[in-house]
Amino acid sequence: MGDKGAMDKMKGKAKQKAGKITGNERLKGEGRADEAKGRSKGAVSDAKENLRGMKDSLKGKSRS
């Protein structure tokens, strides 16, 4: 995964830990949401990279 979602995942994990330590369920929930957002951004970024690679491969094959 690229850096696009890494910050959100780290922020989410930190919020979850802080929420667990303090007993704050809202903060834990926000952390889970941030972490999910980070995973989603990473998946989209990876998919875009894969599509670019496929596109480049197809261009290379059509020239042969």
| Residue range 6-56, pLDDT digits in tens | 999 999 999 999 999 999 999 999 999 999 999 999 889 888 888 888 888
Question: Is residue 4 a contact partner of residue 42, using CB atoms and an 8 Å limit?
Answer: yes
**Contact criterion met (CB below 8 Å) for 1 and 41:** no
* Alpha carbons 14 and 51: distance in angstroms, whole number: 32
pTM score over 0.75: no
**Nearest 5°: CA angle at 5, between 40 and 57?**
75
CB 1, CB 46: distance < 8 Å: yes
The answer to whether 7 and 34 are in contact (CB under 8 A) is no
